[in-house]
Amino acid sequence: MKFYPCPRLRGEITIPGDKSISHRAVMLGSIAKGTTRIHNFLQGADCLSTISCFRQMGIEIENNGSSVLVHGKGLRGLKKPEQILDCGNSGTTTRLISGILAAQPFPSTLTGDQSIQKRPMKRIIDPLTQMGAQIRSLHGNGCAPLEITGSKLHSIHFSSPVASAQVKSAVLLAGLYGDGETSVTEPSVSRNHTELMLSRFGANVRTEGTAAILLPAKELYGQEIFVPGDISSAAFFIAAGLIVPDSEILIHNVGINPTRSGILKVCRDMGADLTLLDENQESGEPAADILVKSSTLHGTVIEGALIPTLIDELPVIAAMACFAEGQTIIRDAAELKVKESNRIEAMVRSLSAMGADVKETEDGMVIHGKRPLHGARIDSRADHRIAMTFAVISCLAEGETEITDAECVRISYPGFYEDLQRLGAR
Ligand code: S3P
């Protein structure tokens, strides 16, 4: 797909539902008693993979294209899937479902696309094995396909070496079926949507510092869930509105949960003109409209406990840094190497191809901004966030930018290019 520079971006936009929250609503709805109605469900391929896995385990799920109705069967109501469960491109589906499958009285096998089959699963295999499940990586490389033989689980106190909501959630979901208190302590706090939603569905869960602590549940109960817009999707319009001159974008209904909204802090640190309007809690999660105006940005340092709160936004933050005065340092972000693609390598290589001054480091990158960028042929590596990031950069790069596998945006934001074009992109 080809993209060209544009003079400005102006208008209003409503962001599709949050991916993390949509996954969790289907999962908890499936193992809850009664019906769960999910409004503004993200119709991205990843969340559809989650629906398809639970349908294969006997859960009736109606999807009318915006809202989803899950007819839950209770904590012990799943049935043995007849076929291999296909998680597609979705790490969240693979890791969170593993936590549930670890406790089921039937064996199952999980797999996904080429990218999923390279992503590290040892991080969930280890704690779930400690809890009593048997999980075998069929190719012996610590990745999917995974064969899971469920068991009666023991509760554990797990100290996770990585700040990962997927690891934390897998252990907590398994802990629902445990024999005592389960806890997960992280090096710093990752997104807490699982904890918030578990509590809403009736589980006994609390947090202490960087630990999430859960008691086994007798039952969960179906809920009505309003999914706020995904800040990770809004990030592309925040960045675009800030860096493209003469722009003003009003982004409606964006989730601003503090464990997710590190990008807002970074933008402010860089000198951005951002205003939050109409802050509310209607969805059970904090949300707001965000007004973005073109701004003169300067470099910053992004590190430490901030990293998990903006991990998926780092590619587009790196893009912003290319248009900021001075140096931006991103460190403590080695997790970027094990996302849908190696996002450090993908960003450094493609930004360099466009003329940016960017250097790869062990756990991040260093960018010197304000070099003029030109169009190039960008290999998205079928990574949705890389494709969307370069579509944003193309608004300011001289000449033509071509993005390969551009349709991979269907993973998290099927209408992304249309929305960007409506604001003025070409
Ligand atoms: C997610 C957690 C993050 C994030 C991913 C979604 C989730 O992954 O990158 O896009 O929904 O729990 P990690 O837990 O691997 O950091």
Q: What pLDDT digit, counting tens, does each position of 335-364 carry?
A: 999 999 999 999 999 999 999 999 999 999
Quote the mean pLDDT of the chain.
Answer: 98
CA of 160 to the centre of ligand 1 (A): 14
Q: What is the mean pLDDT of residues 14-33?
A: 98
Q: Over pLDDT 70: what percentage of the chain? A: 100
- pLDDT for res 283: 76
Q: What is the mean pLDDT of residues 231-235?
A: 98
* Whether pLDDT at 328 is above 90: yes
CA distances from 291 to 166, 241, 275 (A): 31, 9, 5
**Considering only CA atoms, which residue is closest to atom 11 of ligand 1?**
20
Closest CA to 333 of 347, 323, 320: 347
d(CA 174, CA 179): 10
CA of 307 to the centre of ligand 1 (A): 12
- pLDDT for res 66: 83
Closest CA to 15 of 299, 416, 422: 416
What single letter denotes the amino acid at residue 247? S
207: which strand partners? 212
d(CA 15, CA 413): 9
CA distances from 6 to 244, 350, 394, 400, 426 (A): 8, 20, 8, 11, 6
* Whether pLDDT at 303 is above 90: yes
* Whether pLDDT at 210 is above 90: yes
- pLDDT for res 336: 98
- pLDDT for res 240: 98
CA of 20 to the centre of ligand 1 (A): 7
- pLDDT for res 356: 98
What's the longest Cα–Cα distance across the chain?
62
Residue to substitute in 311, 317, 388, 411 for testing ligand 1 pocket (most ligand atoms within 8 angstroms of CB)? 311
What single letter denotes the amino acid at residue 350? S
pLDDT tens digits, one per residue of 127-160: 999 999 999 999 999 999 999 999 999 999 999 9
Closest CA to 92 of 317, 424, 412: 412
Q: Give the ligand 1 atom nearest the CA of 308.
A: 16
**Considering only CA atoms, which residue is closest to atom 9 of ligand 1?**
312
What single letter denotes the amino acid at residue 412? S
Residues annotated as part of the active site? 312
Give the confidence band of 280 by pLDDT, cuts at 50, 70, 90: very high
* Whether pLDDT at 91 is above 80: yes
Q: Give the ligand 1 atom nearest the CA of 338.
A: 15
- pLDDT for res 161: 97
Cβ pair 383, 343 in contact under 8 A? yes
Q: What is the mean pLDDT of residues 55-72?
A: 97
- pLDDT for res 282: 79
**Considering only CA atoms, which residue is closest to atom 13 of ligand 1?**
164
- pLDDT for res 331: 98
Q: Give the ligand 1 atom nearest the CA of 335.
A: 16
Give the confidence band of 284 by pLDDT, cuts at 50, 70, 90: confident
Residue to substitute in 18, 19, 20, 173 for testing ligand 1 pocket (most ligand atoms within 8 angstroms of CB)? 20
Cβ pair 143, 119 in contact under 8 A? yes
pLDDT tens digits, one per residue of 100-120: 999 999 999 999 999 999 999
What is the chain's percent helix, strand, coil content, to nearest 5?
35, 25, 40
d(CA 421, CA 416): 9
Q: Give the ligand 1 atom nearest the CA of 311.
A: 9
- pLDDT for res 398: 98
Q: Compute the Cα dihedral for 56, 200, 258, 320 and give only its sign.
A: positive
pLDDT tens digits, one per residue of 359-414: 999 999 999 999 999 999 999 999 999 999 999 999 999 999 999 999 999 999 99
Q: What is the mean pLDDT of residues 14-32?
A: 98
- pLDDT for res 2: 98
CA of 101 to the centre of ligand 1 (A): 19
CA of 91 to the centre of ligand 1 (A): 7
Q: Show the ligand 1 pocket: residues with CB < 6 angstroms.
A: 20, 91-92, 164-166, 169, 190-191, 311-312, 335
